[in-house]
Structure 1
Amino acid sequence: MNKTYVRLAATAVMLVSAATSAYADSLTLYCAAEEAWCQQIKTTFEEKTGITVDMTRKSSGETYAQLRAEAGNPKGDVWWGGTGDPHLQAAEEGLTVEYTSPMRGELHDWAIKQAQAANNKTIGVYSGALGFGYNKDLLAKSNLPEPKCWADLTKPEYKGHIQMANPNSSGTAYTMLATIVQLMGEEKGFEYLKALHANINQYTKSGSAPIKAAGLGETTIGIVFMHDAVTQTAAGFPIVTVAPCEGTGYEIGSMSLIKGARNPEAARQFYDWALTAEMQSKAKDVKSFQLPSNKNATASDLSPDLSTIKLIDYDFKKYGSSAERKRLLQKWDTEVSTLPQ
């Protein structure tokens, strides 16, 4: 056999082995939680396993859009965090893969139900209720009454005082859209959203941005998940968290394995680790106050107690479906976002 051919073949084998080894020691993570939490997850997993994590932080809607764009040539391995609706949509569209973790026995029922709704292509990692928060100093300065209900936010005195995210890019805002429709019915719900639109000063890209702006005094009220409002209070900002009197929806923050991942072994290792009590108990150390899905994990005393909040029977399967999500977003784009303010 030609010696040059043999050397070339040996070199090719070495290159393939090196590439395989590199893949085995690395992981690409799409993280849709707060930056500090995402960074903590990245560094803790790297320290624990020696696997290098390439982490990108984006909102839920942006991550879902990225998965769709990369479907022909996936670059990510795991999608961790963000509201469960786009995870369910990704599962329905075949962008993620089925996996049953040995950690399932330690999880709350609501986390397992999320998995069952997606044929085990996603799973719940945390939960939190939707609400809003307000800057009590700005409220007093503007001589405004304390808002306690969804209905209060449409009152004319709050014009220009409210921020929420855009439901096309933000899972938080889509949860709000789906919550209002379920709470009030679609016709009355969209009438409400139109009235609310008149009081909105900005639609942000990220779901937590409105309450951060309220903390900094850039807006008075932010519509967010309640745990994000608590984060601002814990950081020393004058934010008061509100559970709307009519009732409210909630999220099941989820995790999914991306179809066609380059590092499936490392992805499954991350997936199992991310469901452990040890990992989930660290969230409070970076002021993330969601409720963990592992029954043995420890949440912060500051985390909103869902048992004290009037929650609607949120239909995750319906409002996480591709057709319903697209329909509602298109209707919001056509009937709400185009209105003058």
Structure 2
Amino acid sequence: MFNLKKTLLAAAVALTANTAMAATELTVYTALEADQLKSYAKAFESANPDIKIRWVRDSTGIITARLLAEKENPQADAILGVAATSLLVLKGQDMLQPYKPTGVEKLSTQFVDKDETPSWVGMDAWVASICYNRIEAEKHELPMPTSWKDLTKPVYQGHLVMPNPNSSGTGFLDVSSWLQTFGEAEGWQFMDNLHQNIDRYTHSGSKPCKMAAAGETPIGISFAYRAAKLINKGAPIDLAFPSEGLGWDMEAAAIVKGTNKAEAAQKLMDWAVTRDANSLYNENFAVVAMPGVAKPVKNYPVDIAERMIDNDFEWAAENRERILKEWQQRYDGKSEPKN
């Protein structure tokens, strides 16, 4: 009997080991915040125990540049949580494998690539905002800004922090939306004036708001949901929504063309459009791809959709390289060193 138990135990151990060895490792490039990845991987791997995700994470601009550099020798199998404007650039380079996920018809149409077989699907949207630290602003006698152009006033000189668009998706949505809202000539003039008041450009979209929450800067240009979460934790900041309108982008998912793990990547795409996945997105973003899923967020405006500009994602993607090059030539001198 004892030998039989030992034999059965050994067989069970061997079976477990073989199952673990058989699990497909899916390399997924992402710009999601580090605190989001654990819950997303846990949910997906629970539904797909035969697949293990290996995350490669960095800011949007860096991940996009890495994917473009690897075009002839792709290292990623899939992309999850990278700006749709970046995925449109990759699509234009024929780097994405079209796939229609099961259940994609349940998503809002604005969150799905318009081709009959989509090359990407959206997950959630994040929206620009200004994080205003009441305590620090009072010390420096800084009024609450009500418009983007308010930020060019001399009173704000040295008191503003915003993301670098070459490394941050939030920074790029800011710049591309200003160019769309004001027009190219006026948009660049606005940024010239804004630059005079900038203390530094960060390589993270959430960092300016975190800095404002910590009292490291009076005002950070960031995105609204991060600010709402910080307010809910007791940070002494208010959200300001400029009257000209708010830039926005959506996080999206896609399969990298050339992967030899297409079946596993398709399962990730199938999961990405599920109600369960959208519920997880709602823990980090107030606007998600599937209608009826998002729950109201404390300290987040219910009319946020009405404040969002009519964003031309195709224009932003087509002009991305030109815009980033111009921005870098003009303003990169105030960027933080890259880690």
Q: TM-score range by the shorter chain?
A: 0.7 to 0.9
Match of 2:34 in 1: 35
Task: Judge which range, 21-30 or 82-91, deviates more.
Answer: 21-30
Partner of 1:62: 62
Select 2:295's aligned residue among 281, 299, 305. 299
Return the letter of the residue paired with 2:79.
Answer: W
In the alignment, the residues of structure 1 paired with residue 258 and residue 229 of structure 2 have an alpha-carbon distance, to the nearest angstrom, of 36
1:126 deviates by 0.7
Deviations 1:182-212 (A, max 9, x none): 1111111101001111111111111111111
Rounded to whole Å, the distance in 2 between the matches of 1:180 and 1:118 is 31
1:211 aligns with 2:206: no
Give the letter for the 1:262 counterpart. N
Amino acid in structure 2 at the alignment position of 1:84: A
Is the Cα–Cα contact under 8 Å of residues 24 and 266 in structure 1 kept in the other structure? no
Question: Which residue of structure 2 aligns with residue 145 of structure 1?
Answer: 143
Match of 2:95 in 1: 95
Alpha-carbon distance change, 223 to 169 in structure 1, aligned in 2, over 3 angstroms: same
Q: Could you say which residue in structure 1 is the equivalent of 2:10?
A: none
SS in 2 for 1:30: strand
Residue of structure 2 in register with 1:4 after alignment: none
User: For each residue in 1:129-157, what CA deviation from the matched residue of structure 2 results, as whole angstroms up to 9, or x when unmatched?
Assistant: 22211111111222211111101111111
Aligned equivalent of 2:14: none
Name the SS of the counterpart of 1:96 in structure 2. coil
Deviation at 1:234, TM superposition (A): 2.2
Shift of 1:39: 1.9
Match of 1:181, SS state, is helix
Deviation digits for residues 236-267 of structure 1 (CA, Å, limit 9, x no counterpart)? 21121121111122212211111122321111
Match of residue 165 from structure 1: 163
Q: Which runs of 5+ in 2 are unaligned?
A: 1-16
Say if 1:210 and 1:339 are closer, same or farther in 2 by CA, change over 3 A: closer
Give the direction of change, closer, same or farther, for the CA distance of 1:262–1:236 in structure 2 (3 Å limit). farther
Q: Work out which of the residue numbers 319, 333, 340 in structure 1 matches 2:316.
A: 319
1:323-334 maps to which residues of 2 (within 5 A)?
324-334=319-329
Secondary structure of residue in 1 paired with 2:193: helix
The residue type paired with residue 330 of structure 1 is K
Q: Cα RMSD over matched residues?
A: 2.4
Task: Give the whole-Å Cα distance in 1 for the aligned partners of 2:142 and 2:175.
Answer: 25
Question: Deviation per CA, 1:270-295, whole angstroms, max 9, x where unpaired?
Answer: 1111111112112344xx13311012
Contact 1:289/1:304 (<8 A) preserved: no
State the one-letter code of the partner of 1:40.
Answer: S
The question of whether the paired residues in 2 share the 8 Å contact of 1:31 and 1:55 is answered with yes
Question: Structure 1: which 5+ runs fail to align?
Answer: 1-17
Q: How does 1:95-114 map to 2 (within 5 A)?
A: 95-112=95-112
Give the match for residue 14 of structure 1. none
1:52 partner SS: strand
Distance 1:172 1:300 in 2: 22
Match of 2:74 in 1: 74
Distance 1:168 1:68, change over 3 A: same
Q: In structure 2, the residue corresponding to 1:67 is in which secondary structure? A: helix
Task: State the distance in 1 between where 2:182 and 2:133 align.
Answer: 27
**Matches of 1:299 and 1:306, distance apart in 2:** 13
For 2:115 and 2:311, how far apart are their aligned partners in 1? 13
> What secondary structure, in the 3-state scheme, does the structure 1 residue paired with 2:215 have?
coil
User: Which residue identity is paired with 2:321?
Assistant: K
Residue 337 of structure 1 corresponds to which residue in structure 2? 332
Q: 1:99 to 1:308 in 2, by over 3 A?
A: closer
Please report how far the alpha carbon of residue 310 of structure 1 lies from its aligned counterpart in structure 2 after TM superposition: 2.6
- State the secondary structure of the residue aligned to 1:334: helix
Task: Give the aligned residue type for 1:263.
Answer: K
